[in-house]
Every structure is written in structure tokens, then in C-alpha cells.
Structure 1
């Protein structure tokens, strides 16, 4: 089954702003460069209940999808990804206990349940010791019933957070993948 909006590759870049986290989601061109803007995400920092809205463009006049936590102030909260009409596209969440040494997340889409984990245990440990350093980290999500990687997010080594996201599995909707990619940055340290 192919998701209604599948995109095999895109990039997420964080912007420097005060009071909110902002992200640009852009397509990746065949030559590896950046193409058109696909969405702009915004998250209020220190929110009681996590919610991120993705807008069609910088004017932020038309919301196109979002994600929100099911529970307030819960480090292991599940998040629902919603389309522009409020219909659930899929879910993701952090597995708090499993994330002590290496961050672990879950992803659920129609016909798919997957678990993602930081690729490198040494980098995961270094990130915990030197939290303020912009260390690159990488996540690979594989189906819970076995099989190849269905989604990967690779943080580039830079001062401004930037992620290359690959989604080889057509069951994963772009909106779910983009939401998870933003969450891996915005919610990772919680």
C-alpha cells in the first residue's frame, strides 16, 4: 500500500528564532541540492502539551498538517500526526526507558509498525555527556516484524540543525515522516 503523499527524500533545517522552534522542510533535487519549500513548521518552546503545526509557506496562513501529544508533560507521550482536516495519518513516540543510552522511537503508519534508534552507541553517549555540542546523530527505523530500513534521519554536522531524511518505504506518508523528523530535533532532549 502506498501512502497518499509519499516523498522518498527531503531535508529539514532549523531556523534561529526567539521563543519558538522553526523548521523549513524542503525537497531534495536529483543532484542532492535543495528544491522547493514543502512546509514551514513552528513549535512553541516550553509548551504544556507538545503541538507543532506545519504551514504551506512563511506567511503561515494555511496549516497543512500537524502533530500533537496525546498526553501533557509526558516524556514518553505518543504523538498523533494529523492532516489538514484533523484525520490521523500515523503516530510516533519516544520510548523513554529504552532511550537511556541510545534514543529509541516508535513509528506507526497504516500497515507498518517500526522502531528507530540512534545508529551509533558511542555518539549517543557523547551527546549525553556533551549536550551543548552540535554532534551529528543518525536514526534508522526498521519494521518491528523485520526487514530493511523504512526511514532514516541523518543530522549534518553544523551549528544550525539540518537533517537529511530518506523514506524508502512507500507506506510512510511524507507528512508523518516530516513530523517525525522535526520531533527528532525538537523533542530529542526530553
Structure 2
């Protein structure tokens, strides 16, 4: 993956200084970077005390600080981040404006989310239809990885998965072939790649 397709990430060192790395209650991010917000709206929202179960009503710098704390833990799609922050914010319009700004500055990136999704799902043996569906659920445009989807040899991906599950022999019984087809369809592969995979003979290029 080229550097152009993977823009700058957050300045974690600056965030560590902002939120206090040495606090014993420091939280660990998804990138193994300890981060602690100056407050924890999630703890307040889900407190055992029913009287405390209120929207924290974050605004301004407190909302921005919480947004950075959230983004250090994992990558969020733009639509996901808006919904996440809206749970704790006082004004949804302020959330949308803030997330738009974070997106422009590449602190939030649907491109990164799409590329990470593609990579992780391919490692799990998932086909293009599954990947597109998961991106759609996150409201991420699949066009962001259109080239990568097109360049991937999905027949090879399907064949490797078929071999792992059923071996290298080409199935002759209709029931077994149908079973392999259903298996690969469930994994998100398209029929053209599936037919090539199940009919491919050992050592065949």
C-alpha cells in the first residue's frame, strides 16, 4: 500500500502529553498508546447510579478532546464517529462540523477505514461481496478501494479457501460441488470466481 493511499495518522505523542500518560487510570489505545481523556463521558453515561445516566452534553474543547481520545483507540468511519460523539454531545450539528474538520485534516479517514477493512477481510478469507456489505454497513463508499478490489485475484483467493476446506481434488459429485459453491458464496465470492476455484485442478495455473 503506497504512502499516498495511507495518509498521516494522529500525533499520538502530542495526545499522550495532552491527556496525561502517567496517570494510573490511563487507557490503552488500539495502537498500544496510553491515552486518558481529561474526563470519561462513557463512564458517566453508563454509571451504575441511575441518577447519573444523563447525556454529558459535551461542547467546544471538551467535545474535541473526547473526539481525539476516541480516535486514538481505533479508526472510525465518518458516519460511525458522528453517531459515537452524538451520544455525548450537546449539539449534533456541532458534532457534524467537528467530524468534517477532523476528516479534512486526515485525523479521521474513510480511505483508511476502507483499506484496513479490505486487508483484514481478505486475511479472514472473505470475498468482495462480504467486504462491500461491511463497508456499506459503515456507510463507507466502496469506490475508495475500487482499484484494489479490481486488482485482487478473487479466483485465487476462493481457490485457496476451497483447498483449505475441501482439499485439492476437484469434486465430481453434484452434491459436493453444490456444497462448495454454497460455502464460497456465503464467504462473499462471486460465481465466476467460485466456478474457477472448484474446477481448478492441482498444479494448474
TM-score between both structures, scaled by the size of structure 1: 0.22
Q: Give the helix-richer structure, 1 or 2.
A: 2
More strand by share: 1
Bigger RCO (CA 8 Å, 6+ sep): 1
